[in-house]
Structure 1
Amino acid sequence: MRERGSAGVVGVLVAGLLAAGCSSGGGGSGPSGTPVGAAAARPTGVGARFLGVGECSSFGTTSFTEVPCGGERAAARVVARYDGAAAGGPPCPATTDFVLHISAQDVSFDEDGDGRIPRGYACMRNLQAPHPGDPGGGGGPRTIVGDCVYGTGGGQVRETACDGSGKRKPQFKVVRAVDTRAKCPASTALYVQLGGARPVGCADRM
């Protein structure tokens, strides 16, 4: 990290703010504490498309299945769904709680009748709190305005809950998203990589 006058540390890089919807390194988790990026299990035939937008997944520890949203097993809803790998793919919505990575599978039923579920990923929102993807929530696949981070060394930062309930106390809070560093206010203590149309986060020291 290098200094920017009296503003303090000027940083960079959040390990997982990628626009691809992968883990932010902020401790995001799915239902029952399942880590971001857990695999989805074989489809159950609940929806026309396996984990299509608006459909729901079960609770899980290492895998998830599609279940009716009104059922007692429903834990999270799909808010966006994309084919292909998350790396380099479209970003998940800003307040996504976690991402399910779906492996290509040969099945007896699928949406187009070819017997194969393509590789893809589903952006998920928990049906009930907590919502780690909300501003200040300490998780989710993206870092957004309102989130807090702490330094991990080597110019890297990770997301943590702004209220101090996480394993690490917050050191900086992202207060603005801009397209270039020059548009951050003079009080900015840290630049955080956000991705998207406004990829620079201006963070104040807490």
Structure 2
Amino acid sequence: MTEREGRSTGVVLSVLLAVLLTGCQGAAGEGSQDDPTAGREVSPTARPSGYGAEFLAVDECSSFGATSFTEVPCTGERAAARVVARHDGTVGEGPPCPGTTDFVLHISEQRPSHDEDGDGAIPQGYACMRTLQPPHPGDPGGGGGPRTIVGDCVYDSGGGQVRETACDGKGERKPEFEVTEAVATRADCAASTALYVQLGGDNPVGCARPV
């Protein structure tokens, strides 16, 4: 929603919650689960202009900074992340983001009482974002992202909880378990499985082994 060549400035997103939650939590030894609402909540402050019918539609790009996100042309120098999936409603009610999503933007509803042509409403929704340049925390073993997937690593964070960390050991905490397989039930995991991680999807059980 920022500038386009020869066009006016578009929508600026005010960051209400600029915390990227990069782990999973659950009972160690019993399983773990990502926070389905992990991401950043943003609120459009104006009607989008010149960016299509949907705000932050699939394949559109955003810039981001310490205090705001704006929609920008993907070919522009300010482009930092691309929308890989876009859904209305809340994360808990809608489809999950793709496994390699780096972060999620939660978009607040905006329904202005009046605007130029009456099409300025923006429904509540969420955009699954993938950064244009590495590192990608959502990649297997990357140590972050809103979902836990095969190839990710976790550590015991205390209190019966586990959280995701980078498998290469370069994160703040060293990895203790790696998710090696996604299966339908715990019985399908190998005998060497030491931790069951809740992944969701068609194969909701992650089989994790010590590293």
Q: Shorter-chain TM-score: what band?
A: 0.7 to 0.9
Query: Which residue type is aligned with residue 39 of structure 1?
Result: V
Q: Which residue of 1 aligns with 2:180?
A: 175
1:14 shift after superposition: 2.7
Tell me which of 92, 97, 100 is aligned to 2:97: 92
1:88 shift after superposition: 2.4
Q: How many Å separate the matches in 1 of 2:139 and 2:34?
A: 18
- C-alpha change, 1:88 and 1:156, in structure 2 (3 Å) is farther
Q: How many Å separate the matches in 2 of 1:40 and 1:78?
A: 17
Query: Which residue type is aligned with residue 110 of structure 2?
Result: Q
Off by >3 Å, runs of 4+ in structure 1:
40-44, 106-110
Q: How many Å separate the matches in 1 of 2:160 and 2:131?
A: 32
- C-alpha change, 1:15 and 1:54, in structure 2 (3 Å) is closer
- C-alpha change, 1:15 and 1:124, in structure 2 (3 Å) is closer
Q: Identity of paired residues, percent?
A: 67
Q: Which residue of 1 aligns with 2:33?
A: 14
1:154 shift after superposition: 3.3
Q: How many Å separate the matches in 1 of 2:83 and 2:116?
A: 20
Q: Which residue of 2 aligns with 1:39?
A: 42
Unaligned runs of 5+ in 1: 1-8, 24-35
What does the per-residue CA deviation read over 1:147-182, in whole Å, with 9 as the maximum and x for residues that have no partner? 000112333211110011111111000000001000
Worse-superposed segment, 148-157 or 171-180? 148-157
Does the 8 Å contact 1:179/1:198 carry over to 2?
yes
Tell me which of 53, 57, 61 is aligned to 1:56: 61
Does the 8 Å contact 1:85/1:119 carry over to 2?
yes
Tell me which of 55, 67, 74 is aligned to 1:69: 74
Q: Which residue of 1 aligns with 2:85?
A: 80
**Are 1:164 and 2:183 matched, yes or no?**
no
1:188 shift after superposition: 0.2
- C-alpha change, 1:46 and 1:72, in structure 2 (3 Å) is farther
1:115 shift after superposition: 2.4
Tell me which of 128, 131, 136 is aligned to 1:123: 128
1:63 shift after superposition: 2.7
Does the 8 Å contact 1:38/1:63 carry over to 2?
no
1:15 shift after superposition: 4.1
Q: How many Å separate the matches in 1 of 2:152 and 2:138?
A: 9
TM-score of the superposition, structure 1-length normalised?
0.81
Q: What is the Cα-based RMSD across aligned positions, in Å?
A: 1.8
Q: How many Å separate the matches in 2 of 1:39 and 1:78?
A: 15
Query: Which residue type is aligned with residue 85 of structure 2?
Result: A
Does the 8 Å contact 1:40/1:63 carry over to 2?
no
- C-alpha change, 1:71 and 1:191, in structure 2 (3 Å) is same
TM-score of the superposition, structure 2-length normalised?
0.79
Does the 8 Å contact 1:189/1:203 carry over to 2?
yes
Q: Which residue of 2 aligns with 1:152?
A: 157
Unaligned runs of 5+ in 2: 1-27
Flag the structure with more relative contact order, 1 or 2, with Cα contacts below 8 A and sequence separation at least 6: 1
Worse-superposed segment, 41-50 or 168-177? 41-50
Does the 8 Å contact 1:57/1:77 carry over to 2?
yes
Query: Which residue type is aligned with residue 13 of structure 1?
Result: S
1:98 shift after superposition: 0.4
Does the 8 Å contact 2:34/2:148 carry over to 1?
no
Does the 8 Å contact 1:191/1:200 carry over to 2?
yes
Q: Which residue of 2 aligns with 1:28?
A: none
Q: Which residue of 2 aligns with 1:185?
A: 190
